[in-house]
Each structure stands twice: as C-alpha cells, then as structure tokens.
Structure 1
Amino acid sequence: MTTATAPAAPPASGLHAGTPRRGLASRIVDRVGSGAIQVIMVLLGLFWLVPTLGLLVVSMRSVEVNNAEGWWTVFTKPAELTLQNYANLLSSGFTASFWNTVAITVPTTILVIGIAAMAAYAFAWMDFPGRDTLFLVVIGLLIVPIQIALIPIASLYGNLQIFGTIPGVVLFHVAFGLPFAIFLLRNFFVGIPSSLLEAARMDGASEWKIFATVVFPLGKPAIASLGIFQFLWVWNDMLIALVFADAGNQPMTKALQSQMRQFGSNVDILSSGAFLSLIIPLILFFAFQRYFVQGMMAGSVK
C-alpha cells in the first residue's frame, strides 16, 4: 500500500530559502543606475574643489579687488588676475620657508616608511621573544597625545643642543609617526602568502633579502598610502613647528601664522602662501591615489 506524502509548505515569507534579503541602499543603486551615481560623485568632487578654486582666485587678485567683490566675479572679469601677489610673496623670504618645509617633510616621510617597514616585517614574519608584547606597546603608543611630550622633549633637545633645528623637528615627527606606520604596514604584511616567503628561504635568501625583494615590493599599496598620510601630517603641521623650530628654520605653516599675526588683513600674502602650501599635497595625493584605497582597506580588515 502506497503512502501519500504531503507537499512541503512554502516559506512563510514568500521568498526562496537561502536568498539574502537586499538592503535599501542596494535597491536604490539598482534603480538609479551606476551612471547617475558617477555623475553625483563627480558633482560632489567639484563641489569639494570650490574652496580651492576660490583660494586660487583670491591669491591672483589685488587686495582692493578682493575687498570690493567676491572671487566668483572673476568669470566676468578675468583681466583682474595677476601674478604680482606670488612675486611679492617670493621676494618676502617665503621661499626659505618652503624649502624648510621640504627639508622637514621629505626626510621624515622616508625615515618613517623605512623604519616602520622593517619593524612591521619583523612583527609579521619573524619569531622573537616578546614580539606580541612589543606590538601591544606599539598599539598603546597610538593613543599617546603629542602635547604631553612637548616639555620633556624640549628639555632633552636643549641638553643635546638641537632645539630650534630642523633635525630636531624631524626626529620628533619620526618618533610620533612610527606607531601608526608600524600598525598599518604590519597588518598589510601579514596578508602576504607565506608560501612566497618559504620559497625564498628554501632558495637560501636571508631575511633582509626576503624583505627587500619580496615583502617591500608587494607592500607598495600600503606604503604609498602611508607615505601620503605622513607627508600630509608633517607638511601641514604647525604645533611642532611653533615649539621646536626657530625663526631661521620655520616651515610655511609657521611663516603664514607669523604673517597673520603681524599684518592681520594681509590677504594677498596669506592667500598666495596658503595656495602654495596646498598645491603640493594635492599633486602628491592625485599622483598616488590608485594605491590609497588598497592600502587603507588592507590596514583595516586584519
């Protein structure tokens, strides 16, 4: 005798079993279309660049014109643009501040990347006593505020006779830039397949050669993103420059601050100097932006 089997009841929700429920954001994207999203993103990017454009226009007009009308009138009066403000700025000694900024920022970025990359490789792929404890100490240093170290390091610099010098500013930036740099690069390096390192060891490569020929080249996305961050932090820094740089070694941020204190409404000098200090980081960011997202994502998921 055959026993009839009752048909299975359909899911109460009316959806196929195992089908994930889609979120509101994904449904909106499908309805609007990727083309419209790209247009919106382009418009947002242009809107973000409006203050930069305004600063450029103000830096290329006389003080009288800037006081009389807004910067947007340049579209109807392009003849008002001039490079005289930049000529006055360069003749006022601002060029020395620019090169002081370069002398502080470039060595700091190179030292932070070099030291952090070697330390990150050691934390990721070398086994030594106290490795995990030392890495926890590095993570703990991320939350140490810079302000608590200003007076002790100023006293130390005075004893070492490097207070007010460019090497003193560089050393301070390197010391406080290393914890984040090591944390970011270590999280990227641990994602490198171990088979590559084992193959190099079987071929007789030393740890230094493995780092230089395998790990460092593969870490370019994270290293480029770290370089952007470190360059921007040091280039735009004012606190460390105010404390540890004297008048002869002052970077652009301190030079602009002194101009504001002395002249107050000296818009032509301030705007042209601010745009010069802005354009270099923008060029650097757009030059390495393809590595930026890759490096940050690698440092955030480990």
Structure 2
Amino acid sequence: MKAKKKIKVARILLHIFIIFMMLIWILPTLGLLITSFRPAQEVSKTGWWTVFNSPLKFTQFTLNNYKEVITKAGLGTAFKNSFMITIFGTLLPVIIGAFAAFGLAKIEFKGKSLIYSLIVGLLVVPLQLTFIPILRLYNKLKLSGTFVGLWFAHTAYGLPFAIFMLHNFFVSLPNDLFDSARIDGASLWTSFYKLALPLSVPAIASLVIFQFLWVWNDLLVALIYLGGTKDVAPLTVVLANMVGSYGQNWHLLTAAAFISMVVPLIVFLSLQKYFVKGILAGSVKG
C-alpha cells in the first residue's frame, strides 16, 4: 500500500510539473495573441494581462492590426509565397529521401556503406560554406530570385537528414517481409510502395514536421538566394523588414508574428500522434 501511495504521489508531482512547464510555454504565445488584437494606444499604456480585468469589454480589442499588416505590409502575398516555397521544399526532399533511404537500406550493391557514410557526413557541413558557390551557379543559370531556386536549395539541404532519418527506419523493418514479397512475385517498386511506405508513415510524418518547420521558419537561405526580389519573398523576409519599418509600431509585429505561427502550429498539432513514433523509429529492432 505504501508503495502504491508513493507511486500516486510521484505521478501527481509529475503531472503538476508538466502542467507548470506547459503554462510557461503557452504564456508567451497567449501574450502575443492578445497583444495582436489590442489597439496601439492600449499596448503602449498597459500590459496584455490587464485585459483579464474586464474580459467582456470588447472595445479593447480590434482587427485593425491584422488588416493593416495584410494589406499595407504585403503579408498576404508573403503568406502565399511561404506556402509555395514550403510545400515543394518539403515534398521534394521527403520523396527523394524515401527512395534513396530504401535503396540504401534494402538493396545490396557495392559501395553502399561508403555512399551512406558520405551522406551522413554532409549533416555536419555548415550551410554557409555552400552559399557563395551555389549563388554563383544560380546567377549563371538565372535561378536566383525564383521559387525553383529555393526548392532546389531546400531539397539539397534537407536530403542528408531525410535519408539518415528514413534509413534508420527502413533498416529496422524485417528483411523476411520483403523476401516473402519477392518470392510471391512482387517487384522492387511494389515492395517499396505497398510495404515500406505504409509501414513508415510515422517516420515520414515526423520528417515532414521537421522539414516543414525548417523551411517555413527559414530566413537565411531565403535572403541569400532571393536577394532583393520582393515578388517571391516569404513571411520571414517580410517580417525581418518590418522590424526596421515598424520598429515603433510593434503591435503590428505581434499580428504579423502570430500569422506566421498559425500554419506551423496546425501542421504540428495535426501530425503530433505520429511525432513520437517517428522520433523512436529505428531505435529498436523488432
């Protein structure tokens, strides 16, 4: 009985700690959300927590911040650009990485270990070392300042991690399963499409989350390869420019920042059930 009581007390303390940490994480986001709906004069005079003194007083909230940011600051166009960049910047490395990881995990050929070692080694290469040579190549091919150029860049930068992550999962899949499929007449493509992909949904979903968040929140790669091209500038570039343009009107920055946060939150929350499974993918064979 004493052991059970100790276990219950430990669980209660653990739950209290988790709730406390959750509140610490949510508090800044809540403050950002509330501030984004407050008029400029209210933001400059009082803190965001003062709205709870009279929560039913709707005059202290406004949508003008969002209207001004979307229309005047060009955030609407930047939002579309971010979608264009992120969707293909996520799909391409995931698709190519799945093919490469499956081949390196389940197909026997000479030099496979060396190729995989070189790919894993690319994970430690700083991105900054590639900017100048790739930018020179992009200028010759007229890819700088285009969506296609950013798609290729994010695909190249994301492939080593994608192959590494999916390879660990494909290796953990039993070889007997694929041997049985081959005996039954299944081709290599059928084994990949009908067996490997359905079993690797958690790993692929986790990879999609990582790659999506990285591309969506990227500023450095976009600045380097887009230059001063405003027509294809994503949200991060526009927000960086707003810091200088709206340094005094930071209530507008809160609205812009929350708009940029909405999509990653939706993606993460919708795929979170696969997240832990994907992180542990390949860690235990069975």
TM-score (norm 1): 0.88
- 1:284 CA displacement: 1.0
**Counterpart Cα distance in 2 of 1:265 and 1:112:** 40
Which one of the candidate residues 223, 237, 243 is aligned to 1:254? Answer: 237
SS in 1 for 2:231: helix
CA contact (8 A) 2:170 2:282 kept: no
- 1:286 CA displacement: 1.1
Note if 1:81 corresponds to 2:64: no
Identify the residue that residue 255 of structure 2 maps to in structure 1. Answer: 272
The Cα offsets for residues 13-68 of structure 1, whole Å up to 9 and x where unpaired, read as xxxxxxxxxxxxx9997362324423431332122111100100111111211111
The Cα offsets for residues 42-95 of structure 1, whole Å up to 9 and x where unpaired, read as 332122111100100111111211111111111124321111111111212211
Identify the residue that residue 47 of structure 2 maps to in structure 1. Answer: 70
**Counterpart Cα distance in 2 of 1:301 and 1:210:** 22
Identify the residue that residue 6 of structure 1 maps to in structure 2. Answer: none
Identify the residue that residue 169 of structure 1 maps to in structure 2. Answer: 150
- Unaligned ranges ≥5, structure 2: none
Which one of the candidate residues 127, 133, 146 is aligned to 2:108? Answer: 127
Q: Which moved more, 1:199-208 or 1:30-39?
A: 30-39
- 1:208 CA displacement: 0.8
Aligned CA distance change for structure 1 residues 28 and 269 (closer, same or farther; 3 Å): farther
- 1:301 CA displacement: 5.6
**Counterpart Cα distance in 2 of 1:140 and 1:28:** 50
Spell out the pairing of 1:80-159 with structure 2 (5 A cutoff): 80-92=60-72, 93-159=74-140
CA contact (8 A) 1:221 1:291 kept: yes
Aligned CA distance change for structure 1 residues 251 and 214 (closer, same or farther; 3 Å): same
The Cα offsets for residues 191-250 of structure 1, whole Å up to 9 and x where unpaired, read as 112121111111111111110110011001110110000000000000011111221110
- 1:279 CA displacement: 1.4
Aligned CA distance change for structure 1 residues 172 and 209 (closer, same or farther; 3 Å): same
CA contact (8 A) 2:246 2:252 kept: no
Note if 1:230 corresponds to 2:207: no
Identify the residue that residue 218 of structure 1 maps to in structure 2. Answer: 199
Which one of the candidate residues 159, 163, 182 is aligned to 1:201? Answer: 182
Aligned CA distance change for structure 1 residues 249 and 217 (closer, same or farther; 3 Å): same
After the TM superposition, list the runs of 4 or more consecutive aligned residues in structure 1 that deviate by more than 6 angstroms.
26-29
**Counterpart Cα distance in 2 of 1:136 and 1:265:** 50
SS in 2 for 1:298: coil
CA contact (8 A) 2:171 2:282 kept: no
**Counterpart Cα distance in 1 of 2:94 and 2:5:** 42
SS in 2 for 1:127: coil
**Counterpart Cα distance in 2 of 1:55 and 1:299:** 38
- 1:153 CA displacement: 0.7
**Counterpart Cα distance in 2 of 1:240 and 1:279:** 22
- 1:285 CA displacement: 0.8
**Counterpart Cα distance in 1 of 2:221 and 2:271:** 26
Larger Rg belongs to: 1
CA contact (8 A) 1:260 1:266 kept: no
TM-score (norm 2): 0.92
Q: RMSD of aligned C-alpha atoms?
A: 1.8
- Unaligned ranges ≥5, structure 1: 1-25
**Counterpart Cα distance in 2 of 1:131 and 1:237:** 32
**Counterpart Cα distance in 2 of 1:160 and 1:293:** 41
- 1:123 CA displacement: 0.7
Aligned CA distance change for structure 1 residues 173 and 298 (closer, same or farther; 3 Å): same
Identify the residue that residue 188 of structure 1 maps to in structure 2. Answer: 169
